[in-house]
Amino acid sequence: MVKQNNPWDSNSTEDLWNNGGELTRKFKIIAGRPQNDWGGYIKYGILLLLVLWLCSGFYQVQPSEAGVVLRFGKYVDTTDAGLHYHWPSPIEDVIKVNVTQERSINLGTVDARDYRNNAFTESHMLTGDENIVDINLTVVWKIKDAKNYLFSIRNPDETVSVAAQSVLREIVGQSEMQSIITGDRGKVEDDTKEELQRVLDEFESGVSIVRVKLQKADPPREVVDAFNEVQRAKADMERFKNEAEAYRNEVLPKARGRAAQITQDAEAYKAAVINQAEGEAKRFASVYAAYKDGKEVTVKKMYLETLEDVLSKANKVIIDPSQKGNLLPVLNLNANKE
């Protein structure tokens, strides 16, 4: 039996170096290839590289991300969270975009040096009543469409900033200074958010405005003292106005009550006079009717009633005609009544 040499044995080291080695020949035999056939190794190497290249197309998208697939630089699809596959590079590439992260920009933030060098900065805006207000605004936004965000606008932060400043100037230009500084700031924020979202949607920016916060709204530093004087004057005006309103509310009800009382008294007097006149007219008509029926009786009755009315108001002295010359003083009964 022929003893076969161990290829790993130290005695065969010289053969391995000189003749290519027994180990190399054994590998070729196991591979089913004849000795000195390097073409098979190249094909297997290419196949292995192809498999590795194809496997590199698998990619994972996180829950907070969206994957934008590009084929030779052209948009193909947008994928959601999970494991996906695309043709490996350079055929297709994937750009992952965080669509849940909130980004923010600030308008009207200038340091002291910028303020000294620029008398009129981006924070100064002209109001509808031709006053200047110093405004600081924060805009919070996030991505709602990864495709438009990547390909419709070149610089998203700058685009949102410029659009927000333009919209804010328009809103401020339609409002009065007093309403912006001490009035309803929420209305300015809501109007700015709504209009800014409309403008960005027209640009197909893929950006969603989360909220708009008005951090500061003050008069410029140069006129703050004069503005405070105006505010104090307006406060005094409001105080005087409130005092006048209070005095009016106190006086008017009394005057209205007095007027109502006078009106009621006049109405009562009117009703009494009318009723009395109507009563006199009816009495006269009844007397006249009675007079037509019996003239003598009516005349005598009227004469007696007249005497009764006249004599009831006069001092009466009764004299007996038979007692001439013997008259006695009569007690004045009317004096006791007084």
Q: What is the mean pLDDT of residues 64-84?
A: 89
Residue 209 binned pLDDT confidence (cut-offs 50, 70, 90) = very high
The mean per-residue pLDDT over the stretch 225-236 comes to 77
Locate 82 and state its tokens.
């999970």
Compare 297 and 204 and report the one with higher pLDDT. 204
DSSP string, 41-65: HHHHHHHHHHHHHHHTTEEEE-TTE
Mean pLDDT of 203-220: 86
Identity of the residue numbered 315 = N
Q: Could you give the C-alpha distances from 299 to 225, 282, 310, in angstroms and in order?
A: 98, 18, 16
Residue 279 carries which side chain, given as an amino acid letter?
G
Q: What is the DSSP string of 128-193?
A: TTS-EEEEEEEEEEEES-HHHHHHT-S-HHHHHHHHHHHHHHHHHHTS-HHHHHTS-HHHHHHHHH
pLDDT surpassing 90 at residue 55:
no
163 exposed, middle or buried (CB, 10 Å; 0-12, 13-18, 19+)?
Answer: buried
CA-closest candidate to residue 66, choices 94, 102, 104: 94
Are 208 and 144 spatial neighbours (Cβ–Cβ below 8 Å)?
yes
pLDDT at 210 exceeding the cut of 90:
yes
Domain segments of the chain as ranges: 10-55, 58-98, 103-219, 240-297
Q: Which string of b and e fits 202-232 if b means at least 16 CB within 10 Å? A: eeebbbbbeebebeebebbeeeeeebeeeee
CA atoms lying within 13 Å on the CB side of residue 112 = 0
* pLDDT, tens digit, 9 for 90 and up, residues 4-35: 444 444 444 454 444 444 545 544 554 454 54
The tens digit of pLDDT for each residue in 129-180 reads 777 888 888 999 999 999 999 888 888 888 898 999 899 888 888 888 777 8
Dist CA 103 CA 149 (whole Å): 13
pLDDT at 139: 92
Residue-wise pLDDT tens digits, 310-322:
877 777 666 666 6
Cα separation, 8 vs 24, whole angstroms: 12
Q: In angstroms, rounded to a whole number, what is the distance separating the alpha carbons of residues 25 and 18?
A: 13
Looking at the predicted structure, is the pLDDT value of residue 287 above 70? yes
Q: What is the average per-residue pLDDT within 104-116?
A: 61
Q: For 99-127, b where at least 16 C-beta lie within 10 A, e where not — what string?
A: beeeeebebbebeeeeeeeeeeebbbbeb
Q: Which fold has domain 103-219?
A: Tetrahydropterin Synthase; Chain A (3.30.479)
Closest C-alpha among 141, 193, 135, 185 to residue 167 = 193
Tokens (6 digits) for 260? 């109502």
Question: Is the pLDDT higher at 91 or at 112?
Answer: 91
Q: Give me the pLDDT at residue 200, please.
A: 92
pLDDT average, residue stretch 47-54: 85
Average pLDDT, the chain: 78
Q: Which residue has the higher pLDDT, 224 or 11?
A: 224
Is the confidence at residue 118, as pLDDT, over 50?
no
Q: How far is CA 270 from the centre of its chain?
A: 60
Nearest to 141 by CA among 203, 96, 99: 99
